[in-house]
A and B are shown apart, each in its own frame.
Chain A
C-alpha cells in the first residue's frame, strides 16, 4: 500500500501554533476479519514524532484503538512565522511517513 504523506494545517496565534494533522493509514487492530472470515493482520501507527525546527517537542505512542486515518492535534509553544513543524510516524510493520509545515 503506497504510504501517503501526513496532511497538516497550522494556525499561529500569540507565539503558540495549533497544529492539526490527518494521517492516511488503515489502522488495523489485527482482530478484524474480511467478509471471507480471514483475520486481517495488525497494521497500526505505533509512534508519532513531532519536531519544531528540528527539535523533538512531542512523542506519542499509540495502541490499536486509534481510529483509521488518524487525526492528531497538538500545540507548539514559542512558535513564529517561518518555523517548520515536522510530523513523522512509524507503524508496526516498519513503514514510515511524514508531513512538513512552514508556519505562516
Chain B
C-alpha cells in the first residue's frame, strides 16, 4: 500500500505548486489509515480522535431506505451549518466501513453526492466536520436479493 501512498504525496506536492491556498493544509493525507479500518469505532477513532460526534438534524443524509441494488446506492450528504471542513460517508456493515471523505475549501458549499456499494443491509452515516466538532446523520438501508432469487 505504501507505493501509492508516496504517489499521493507527490501529487499533493504538485497541487501545492498550482496554488492550493483554498484548502487548509492540516487536512491532508490523514484519512488513508481509516480506509483500512474494519470496525466503525476504529474509523471514528482514526478520523476524529476523541472529538465528540453528535447526531444532528442539521446534517441531511439522503439515501433510499430500500436499495434498488446494493451495487449502486445513490447517496447525498449536505449541511447548511457554517464552517464545514469535511464530509464523510460511513457504511457500518461494509468490509471497510469508511466509504469516502470529501475535504472542502473555505468557500465550497457542503453538498456532495455519489453512488456507493453496500454488501448487505446496513446503517449508513453521513458526517460533517466543522471547526467546533462533528455532526452526524444516519439511516438504516435495506439491501434485498432480487425477487425470484435474482
Q: Using a CB–CB distance below 8 Å, which chain A residues touch chain B?
A: 16, 29, 31, 46-47, 49, 51-52, 54-68, 70-78, 90, 92-94
Contacts and interface: CB of A to CB of B under 8 A. Distances in A.
Interface residues of B, number: 44
B42 interface: no
Q: By DSSP majority rule, is chain A's interface helix, strand, loop, or mixed?
A: strand
Contacts of B19: 54-56
Interface in B15-52: 15, 18-23, 27-28, 31-32, 35
A47 B29 CA distance: 11
A72 B95 CA distance: 22
A55 B21 contact: yes
A60 B15 contact: no
A68 B4 CA distance: 20
Interface stretch (B53-61, B96-104, B130-138, B141-149): B96-104
Nearest to B30: A61
Interface string B86-113: 0000010011101111111101110111
A63 B113 contact: no
Interface of B: 4, 7-8, 11, 15, 18-23, 27-28, 31-32, 35, 71-74, 76, 91, 94-96, 98-105, 107-109, 111-118
Given A65-B96, A74-B102, A56 B8 contact: no
A22 to B, nearest CB: 10
A56 B105 contact: yes
A65 B91 contact: yes
Nearest to B115: A67
Given A55-B19, A58-B112, A92-B4, 13 more contacts: A56-B15, A56-B18, A58-B102, A59-B102, A63-B99, A65-B94, A67-B72, A67-B117, A71-B74, A72-B113, A74-B102, A74-B108, A77-B108
Contacts of B113: 71-74
Contacts of A94: 4, 7
Given A55-B21, A72-B113, A47 B8 contact: yes
